[in-house]
Amino acid sequence: MWVNYLSNAHKYGGRPPHIELSAETQTDGTVRFAVRDSGPGIALEDQARLFKPFARLDQVRAKGHGLGLSIVRRIVEKLGGQVGVESQLGYGSTFYFTLPESREAKAPQE
């Protein structure tokens, strides 16, 4: 999860990229982990597509198949969490995921 988020922040997070990492306990018993970048931001209409398989917003610079964020979503959901993005054009993006705060490993449900 971290590798994908950090790699994307490095690729799309501005030149030079400015990347911030954070972790914060939420009131619902989860921890929100986030990667914020200083890139151009993502239009609201494009944000909904980001975590779907084969979705690539930057066809020119992007290498790969557009599966990274969809794989992150599947892993996080199997661990009982959620993924998301907060972004506004011209103000960078924050990609985040939440996981249960429990220190015990939660077994994935089939």
pLDDT in tens, 78-93: 999 999 999 999 999 9
Cα-Cα end-to-end distance for the chain: 20
Give the model's pLDDT for residue 13.
Answer: 86
Which spans in 28-93 are helix H? 44-47, 68-78
> Do the Cβ atoms of 15 and 8 come closer than 8 Å?
no
pLDDT in tens, 34-81: 999 999 999 998 888 888 876 655 544 455 556 889 999 999 999 999
> Do the Cβ atoms of 105 and 78 come closer than 8 Å?
no
Consecutive H or E run containing 92: none
Structure tokens at 52: 């779907």
> Do the Cβ atoms of 101 and 31 come closer than 8 Å?
yes
Cα distance between residue 97 and residue 95, in whole Å = 7
Cα distance between residue 25 and residue 99, in whole Å = 10
